[in-house]
Chain A
């Protein structure tokens, strides 16, 4: 075992990842899996920031960043991948720099574009796991659908005010987002992100759980957060798990699917937050 580790990692890498390698569930073999893994972050913002940093620190081989935005001053309250001098710069570039400053072993692929029905499958095809860090429902549904067609595991996350939610979706094996939420909510009933607000640290909590789930899938360790919605209430510091199951009537992964190809489900600028 020791010899194997020395053949595959430099001495510096063995030191860098020693706290992983010490874990029986990881070891040299698991660290090698992490080093070979490719994880895609859709959105380099609130959820994407902590996920990117922890995945980089863990030694993930390739991190993909999709984001068409530039850093705005209002982002810095929670998007810890970006610093004050980055205001006005493309998020993918700012993100890549932070990731590689933390860990030069990581290769970063930048996609400075919006995710659409036209580009999603091509991009998703190159990755092992997809992390949802977007702020609007049409994009969340598009990511869910694209992961289904590309057969990629998805770590879904959402944050709003003091509430967060995370769940893992293994297409065709566990409940998908559409099994529970059939379609985006009607735009007129939805408050915008700017109106709703969010406590910044929530992004860290939910995004870090998303990174944990991604690493578990790469390592094949433990029980994934499938068929369960994990809801977090920061006011009470309380987690609650809601069981969900595959829906035979699901328009995407049910017995008689009506969604047979990718489509852009609504206007991505329509809104991001709902709570009656």
Chain B
């Protein structure tokens, strides 16, 4: 199915947000995940199923400033 990840359309296997993070080798602690403009709780990553057309944002920490 097709979803948008950080603004880009991508074909992914159906599954949960955690499945997608694992497939992309992203450590869940390193990212805030938004699905359709709503931030997910970390506990909900494994139970939130993605659907065709969902907009997923992986928001990485950006800490520098100096």
Contact = CB atoms under 8 A, between A and B. Distances in A.
B1 interface: no
Given A242-B57, A243-B37, A245-B38, A159 B30 contact: no
Interface core residue of B42, B59, B64 (most chain A CB under 10 Å): B64
B62 A163 contact: yes
A137 B29 contact: no
B65 A158 contact: yes
B39 A137 contact: no
B66 A180 contact: no
B26 interface: yes
Given A179-B39, A182-B42, A185-B29, A272 B63 contact: yes
Interface stretch (A43-51, A54-62, A119-127, A146-154): A43-51
Contact of B39 (A240, A244, A275): A244
Interface residues of B, number: 24
Interface in A242-276: 242-245, 247, 249, 271-276
B65 A181 contact: no
Interface string B30-56: 111010011101100000000000000
The 4 A-B pairs with the shortest beta carbon distances in the complex, nearest first, are A158-B62, A135-B66, A45-B66, A274-B61
A160 B64 CA distance: 6
B66 A274 contact: no
A79 interface: yes
Contacts of B11: none
Nearest to A196: B64
Contact of B32 (A45, A181, A276): A181
Contact of A189 (B6, B30, B34, B38): B30
Contact of A242 (B25, B59, B65): B59
A171 interface: no
A145 interface: no
Nearest to A210: B65
23 contacts: A47-B66, A79-B66, A133-B66, A135-B64, A136-B63, A140-B65, A157-B65, A179-B39, A181-B59, A182-B32, A182-B42, A184-B61, A186-B29, A189-B29, A189-B30, A245-B37, A245-B38, A247-B39, A249-B41, A272-B65, A272-B66, A273-B62, A276-B25
Given A179-B39, A184-B61, 8 more contacts: A46-B66, A47-B66, A134-B66, A158-B61, A158-B65, A274-B61, A275-B60, A276-B60
A160 B62 contact: yes
A18 B61 CA distance: 41
B42 A276 contact: no
A45 B65 contact: yes
Interface string A181-221: 11011100110010010100001000000000000000000
A157 B62 CA distance: 8
Nearest to B37: A243
Interface in A1-57: 43, 45-48
Given A229-B59, A274-B30, A276-B30, A135 B39 contact: no
Contact of B65 (A43, A229, A240, A244): A43
